[in-house]
Amino acid sequence: MYLLILLPALCLLGAQTASLPQRNSKQKSQEQDNPSLKSRLWMRQPHTKGILRPHNSWNPPRCGVPDIPVPEDSSNGRNRQKRFVLSGGRWDKTNLTYKIIRFPWQLSKVKVRKTLAEALRVWSEVTPLTFTELHEGRADINIDFTRYWHGDNLPFDGPGGILAHAFFPKTHREGDVHFDYDEAWTIGNNLGTDLLQVAAHEFGHVLGLQHSSVSKSLMSPFYTFRYPLSLSTDDKQGIQYLYGAPQTPTSAPTTIPTIRPDSRQLEQESNEIPYSEPDACTTDFDAVSTIRGELFFFRSGYVWRLRGGKLQSGYPALASRHWKGIPESVDAALEDSAGNIWFFHGSKYWVFDGKLQATGPFQLSDLGLSVPKVHAAFLWGTNKSKKTYLFRGAEYWRFNTDTRRIENRHSRSMSDWRGVPTSIDAAFQDEQGFAYFLRGRYYWKFDPVQVRVLEGYPRLVSQDFFNCPVESSSANSL
């Protein structure tokens, strides 16, 4: 007899577990008796990818549905064979519809649709189930990429930690599948969190499967990157117990009838963020700052990250991935000498300490400024004499980050920075001590020795920092 359990229908899937060290025969024997031991030996520190911690330091990242104790077999006193566990509910039909409400920021909608259809196909190939995508109206399964509090009292936590959750059949939110919008979703690689494997696991819950105690099954509570994706015997037995075997031979799997949207439908659908992802080759920037030795460009809630002059993969990304609680857009940003990161927006500012814990918002007036906003900020000078500067229009102030006060309530003129235009948008300093000032899509490079802008400037930000193609209608001069 298979174990039937009625539970609240949610799955909180944790970040990926790390590779296990080699075990001796005694350890392997222990793992066979206790399948959860294998995932407890080593684990990644939550929110810190790639760092191994001993098993007694952290709880292993995993799906949040509680595991069900396996009862002993009363006939012989031995543990029963470990098998799949059911949620206690199932769909009363085999032709199910699904709808994608919002999409992740890293992947195109076409790729997401293809991946989610493939994740559903894993289950349809071994059952009579079919899945049809809808683009309007009510669907059986509703898939959403959302953030933090999103209406079900199960908030997401930003990058890392909880990845997704889903609700079982015959519950008040049956068919709902939620993915954390702020995760680094990838397809077919281990550079981030693989959408195919997480989605297939969550769809198993939506169809009525609880967690399996078989460590290598898709419905194991522990996420591990494995390719190619396939069901274990335990997964197959569980889903067929609910819905039966496919009506067609397994050698000819059921094809999922998917409605293919045209390009107009794709463009009309909206992500959670109401604006579209900006293009570094065609946009100007709200702020730029050197933070922890890397260069960050900010625009409309997004950030680009350059390391060693090279744009890092996965960017642009939401700035909130790095600094939880940051305003949706920033006017200026800087890292001070103590390693604190300052963000300015309108008449307010926020400060993130070395552990990225935020304080604020505070008022600009607390700094001694009587302006509604600042346009740029940066730390400039040699190691022993670095000073912080705030800019607005044709004036600037020198600012003490320790006392959080401007050094003189009277502003100074931008003419002190010979060759730099007024009304700049951003400023930063490189490792050689050169200062850079941005306005619109152009930048000026300022020599700290000659105390003036170098010859040959301004130049286009897009070409020099993002390797964008040269535009026939523009040149590197104003």
For residue 431, indicate whether it is catalytic.
no
The pLDDT of residue 96: 95
Which residues are known binding-site members?
A: 63, 140, 150, 152, 157-158, 165, 176, 178, 180, 183, 201, 205, 211, 219, 286, 331, 333, 377, 425
Please, what is the Cα angle at 302 between 300 and 304, to 5 degrees?
130
DSSP designation for 59: P
Sheet holding 176-180, edge to edge: 130-133, 95-100, 141-146, 176-180, 164-166
Fold classification of 61-268 (topology level): Collagenase (Catalytic Domain) (3.40.390)
The pLDDT of residue 88: 63
The Cα diameter of the chain in Å comes to: 91
Percent of the chain that is helix, strand, coil (3-state, to 5):
15, 25, 60
CA distance 220 to 188: 19
447 beta partners: 452
Contact status, residue 232 vs residue 215, Cβ threshold 8 Å: no
SS3 426: strand
CA distance 44 to 14: 10
User: 118: which residues sit within 8 A by CB, 6+ positions away?
Assistant: 196
Which residues are known binding-site members for Zn(2+)?
A: 63, 150, 152, 165, 178, 201, 205, 211, 219
CA distance 60 to 11: 15
The pLDDT of residue 84: 64
Which residues are known binding-site members for Ca(2+)?
A: 140, 157-158, 176, 180, 183, 286, 331, 333, 377, 425
Q: Give this prediction's pTM.
A: 0.47
User: Going along 292-394, which residue ranges are E strands?
Assistant: 294-299, 302-307, 310-311, 317-318, 332-335, 341-345, 348-352, 358-363, 376-380, 387-392
| Nearest CA-CA partner of 385 in 315, 337, 316 | 337
| Nearest CA-CA partner of 99 in 151, 135, 146 | 135
Residue limits of CATH 2.110.10.10 in the chain: 287-466
Q: Which two tokens stand for residue 450?
A: 């000659």
Determine which one of 31, 125, 174, 202 is catalytic.
202
- Given 1.10.1740.10, 3.40.50.410, 3.40.47.10, 2.110.10.10, which CATH number is that of 287-466? 2.110.10.10
Please, what is the Cα angle at 182 between 340 and 120, to 5 degrees?
165
CA distance 379 to 374: 15
SS3 298: strand
| Nearest CA-CA partner of 390 in 287, 318, 243 | 287
Chain mean position to CA 152: 20
The pLDDT of residue 83: 57
SS3 376: strand
Query: Amino acid identity of 119?
Result: A
CA distance 462 to 148: 33
Give the orientation angle of helix 195-207 with respect to helix 109-124, to 10 degrees.
Answer: 50
**pLDDT 10s digit of each residue in the chain, 478 long?**
333 333 444 444 443 333 333 444 444 433 333 332 222 222 222 332 232 233 333 343 344 444 444 444 333 333 334 456 666 688 999 999 999 999 998 889 999 999 999 999 999 999 999 999 999 889 999 999 988 887 777 788 777 677 888 888 988 788 999 998 888 898 888 778 889 999 999 999 999 998 887 878 898 877 777 778 889 999 999 999 999 999 755 444 444 333 333 333 333 332 233 335 788 999 999 999 999 889 999 998 889 999 988 998 878 888 887 888 888 789 999 998 888 999 999 999 999 987 777 888 999 999 999 899 999 999 988 777 788 999 999 999 998 888 999 988 889 999 999 999 999 999 999 988 899 999 999 999 999 889 899 999 999 999 999 999 876 444 443 4
CA distance 213 to 233: 12
Q: Which two tokens stand for residue 413?
A: 């003129």
CA distance 343 to 288: 11
Query: Amino acid identity of 261?
Result: P
The pLDDT of residue 86: 67
Residue limits of CATH 3.40.390.10 in the chain: 61-268
3-state secondary structure string across 113-167: HHHHHHHHHHHHCCCCCEEEECCCCCCCEEEEEECCCCCCCCCCCCCCCCCEEEC
CA distance 43 to 36: 12
Buried b / exposed e along 282-321 (16+ C-beta atoms within 10 A): ebbbbbbbbbeeebbbbbbbbbbbbeeeebeeebbbbbbb
Chain mean position to CA 317: 8
